[in-house]
Amino acid sequence: MKTLLLLTVLLWGGTRAQDTDYDDYDADANKTSSNNTVGVDARGHRPLNRGREVYSTNRYNPPPISSGSRYRGRPGTGTSTTGTVEQQKVEQPESGGCTHAMEEMGVLCPNGCELKTMLQKQERNVRNSVGELRPQVDDLSRNSNNIFKYVNSMSSNLRERQTVLNENNNVVGQYTDRVEEQHVYIKESVDTLLPSNIRVLQSVLEKIRQKILKLEKALQKQKEACQEPCTSKCPIPVVSGKECEEVFRRGGVDSQMYLVRSDPLLPPYRVYCDQTTEQGGWLLIQNRLDGSVDFGRRWDDYRRGFGNIAFDVGKGRCEKPGEYWLGNDRVSQITKVGPTELLVEMEDWTGAKVYARYQQFTVQSEASNYVLAVDLYSGTAGNGLLEGSMELFGINRTMTIHNGMMFSTYDRDNDNWNPGDPSKQCAREDGGGWWYNRCHSANPNGRYYMGGAYSRGMTRHGTDDGVVWMNWKGSWYSLKAISMKIRPFFQSR
């Protein structure tokens, strides 16, 4: 019995020794797993560029857990250690109540030597069983270690995703609050501000509609009035002549509109004669006084003439001159008959007046593009036509001289600024037809600006395109009034 008890103790101790070895190995594995987990550099932030973020698989990818098909069966299949311990042994009658620990060894009670032999046999069997179990235990330990690492990695990823989810929830909450605030503001605006604004706009729109109706009625009246040719409502004096000087000598001493015929082969035409300035006889060939006529015209318009000759101010005769250009053909015909002098009168927006007088003035025919020739200046405005702008020097001044220049309009470029180049045309930039050089010191036919001073931002091309006489007011002052008058020149005057 003592021998049996000793054998049982030895077997139990061997089993616990195996259990102890396994526990130590598992502790080392847990320690290694813990160290590896600490060493993992888990990403705790989002990338700056989300487009570069890519998905990568987990480092630990253990195989799925099977149903035990990887393990071999243990010795003594069909029995268990627990069942063997709990099963009550059946005594053999031949043994005298003594049996071996293993039934395969018979029923004879052993002596000391037999016990040694029996233990050695059992040790060999136990060693074989332990040798078979150890690889399985090692495999199970490695699998458990991998599973532990995988679980830790999953837990870390789960915590990171939970952190990101919480941050996203916070951001969504903030945006939701802002959207709600904007919604409240928009709803308040739609419910209160917009209706009142709409009512205001509707009233303004109604007023504009009424103004449009009035303008349409006025336009309709103007259209009906313009269906008939414009005729002078004031009588034209019967006194006539080749020009205003001859009209004056024949008794037409009042300043008003007359009929003249500079060439017997051509029909007469209306002109305004100034019979009071400097002993009279002046024929008005150009006049600017209120900007009512557009001087940005074509070549043919300047050749024929345009504008309003004169108006009746209530005295039964056309004694107030209008804005007009007499026509280059007519000016050429008059000036080529004999010596002609030119008087240019100017007025600024304060009422100050100056003049420029040229005792010699001639305009050639259209065959030469109406070349200008002037000489013998006198006056208070400055000699712009002969000498150019006196505020400039060198070529900058000489390129503003108008004497000897051909006439130019925006559709016929005859100036000295790269003739034929559409991007370099004085008439196009400076607003009217004139004897441009490169480009001007005087621009009587330029654009009309109210008030005098104007700036580059007010112009179409950033140039000094106003009614300019540079030697008096400079480039950026547009005159209130300017007129050009001619009459035959006689030394006796």
Q: Is residue 411 part of a domain?
A: yes
Which structural domain range is residue 255 located in?
A: 240-488
User: Is the pTM here over 0.85, yes or no?
Assistant: no
Q: Is residue 136 part of a domain?
A: no
The predicted structure's pLDDT at residue 117:
76
Given a cut of 80, whether residue 116 has pLDDT beyond it is no
* Mean of pLDDT values over 218-246: 78
| Dist. CA 15–CA 5, nearest whole Å | 15
- Yes or no: say if 258 and 280 are a contact pair by the CB < 8 Å rule: no
Q: Is residue 134 part of a domain?
A: no
Q: Is residue 326 part of a domain?
A: yes
Q: Is residue 130 part of a domain?
A: no
Going by pLDDT thresholds of 50, 70 and 90, the confidence category of residue 109 is: low
* Mean of pLDDT values over 149-158: 86
Residue pLDDT, tens place only, 161-196: 888 888 888 888 888 888 888 888 888 777 787 788
The predicted structure's pLDDT at residue 337:
87
Q: Is residue 131 part of a domain?
A: no
Given a cut of 80, whether residue 315 has pLDDT beyond it is no
* Mean of pLDDT values over 225-251: 80
Given a cut of 70, whether residue 159 has pLDDT beyond it is yes
Average pLDDT value over all residues in the chain: 79
Q: Is residue 173 part of a domain?
A: no
Q: How many domains does the chain have?
A: 1
pLDDT > 90: what percent of the chain? 43
The predicted structure's pLDDT at residue 253:
92
Residue pLDDT, tens place only, 398-455: 999 999 999 999 999 999 888 767 778 899 999 899 999 999 999 999 999 999 999 9
Q: Is residue 444 part of a domain?
A: yes
Given a cut of 90, whether residue 277 has pLDDT beyond it is yes
The predicted structure's pLDDT at residue 445:
96
Residue pLDDT, tens place only, 352-397: 999 999 999 999 999 999 999 999 999 999 999 999 999 898 898 9
**Of the spans 88-102, 194-208, 278-292, which averages the highest pLDDT?**
278-292
Query: Domain containing 429 — which CATH number?
Result: 3.90.215.10
